[in-house]
């Protein structure tokens, strides 16, 4: 059984948003602004903000990689249309492009959790 109640997602969001909007704020300043106790604010900034930054970097890298795939497959698709001797099948290129596009759409949907999204993956 936990010793303390868990911090609500709303409080975490308020604290992180306040810190992102003004990185110079102290935990006491954030406490005054958000009504979240400064010790809790400190814990949120120490634990949760690092996790969010890591997830954000991972998502950014995924989108960048997917955009590279989209660009490469588009170029290769154009080459395929011009050159009959190309060795990759057109359906393989299309699947790679579609997968990258869907992954990008999925990460965008994660930013809008209220929006309903239907994703289908085919291999």
Is 76 among the domain residues?
Answer: yes
Q: One digit per residue, pLDDT tens: the chain, 123 residues?
A: 456 778 888 888 888 888 877 778 889 999 999 999 989 988 888 888 777 766 667 777 777 887 888 788 778 777 776 776 656 677 777 777 777 777 777 666 656 556 665 555 554
What separation in angstroms does the CA of 65 have from each of 70, 77, 106? 9, 18, 14
Residue 69 is part of which domain span? Answer: 9-111
DSSP state of 123: -
Half-sphere exposure of 11 (CA within 13 A, CB side): 17
Is 120 among the domain residues?
Answer: no
Is 123 among the domain residues?
Answer: no
- Determine the 3-state secondary structure of 30 from DSSP: helix
109: Cβ–Cβ under 8 A, 6 or more apart, which residues?
115, 117, 119
Domain total in the chain: 1
Is 116 among the domain residues?
Answer: no
What separation in angstroms does the CA of 63 have from each of 13, 25, 60, 66, 68? 24, 31, 5, 5, 9
Is 2 among the domain residues?
Answer: no
Give the pLDDT score at 67. Answer: 81
**Rounded distance, CA 44 to CA 22, Å?**
16
Is 16 among the domain residues?
Answer: yes
Give the pLDDT score at 62. Answer: 74
Question: 18, exposed or middle or buried, with CB in 10 Å at 0-12, 13-18, 19+?
Answer: buried
């Amino acid at each position: 059984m936990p010793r303390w109640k868990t911090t609500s997602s709303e409080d975490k969001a308020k604290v992180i948003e306040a810190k992102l909007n003004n990185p110079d704020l102290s935990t006491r300043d954030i406490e005054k602004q958000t009504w979240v106790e400064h010790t809790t604010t400190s814990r949120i900034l120490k634990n949760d903000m690092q996790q969010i930054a890591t997830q954000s970097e991972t998502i950014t890298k995924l989108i960048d990689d997917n955009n590279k795939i989209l660009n490469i497959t588009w170029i290769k698709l154009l080459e395929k249309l011009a050159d009959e001797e190309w060795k990759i099948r057109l359906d393989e290129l299309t699947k790679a492009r579609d997968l990258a596009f869907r992954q990008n759409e999925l990460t965008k949907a994660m930013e809008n959790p209220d929006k309903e999204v239907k994703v289908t993956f085919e291999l």
